[in-house]
Amino acid sequence: MGGTFPSKVDAWLAVVLGAAAAVLLAVCVLAFREGQNLVALGPVLALVVTAALVWPCQYQLQEDHLEVRSGIIRYRVPYVQIDAVSPSREPWSSPALSLDRMRIQYGKRAILISPADREGFLVALAGRCPHLRLQGESLVKR
């Protein structure tokens, strides 16, 4: 029981990120062709920072906590602190590449995630959180 669950990726977001990367690469190539090497560093830096903050976006069930990873950023959510997990379509910034999200409430905090295999994720997480029970598409306190 456990494992790694990659984020679901909405098609529109993949198109937006791909188009932005293509534009930045085109600006970079044009700047290099014109001998503006310093100007080309801006788009290269933007691509590197974006990739470092987005890839990979995944959720891993560890021994005593859920590790939420979005690039170089990692959150650790102790299983014992999880109060509830419920479906969400909140648009706020989060380590999720889809608006088909799950809201994990732990203490006074919450985090939004979007595992591609929602059902598998919920079942695996329920196995790590004996104080919660599966109820439809949610985990609630027993």
Contact (CB, 8 A) for 82 and 59: no
CA proximity to 17, closest of 49, 39, 41: 49
Tell me the backbone φ, ψ of residue 44, rounded to 5 degrees: -65, -45
Q: Residues 81-128: pLDDT tens digits?
A: 999 999 998 888 889 899 999 999 998 999 999 999 999 999 999 999
Give pLDDT tens digits for 30-56. Answer: 888 888 877 778 878 888 888 888 889
CB 1 within 8 A of CB 124: yes
Length of the chain: 142
CATH 3.30.70 at 1-142, yes or no: no
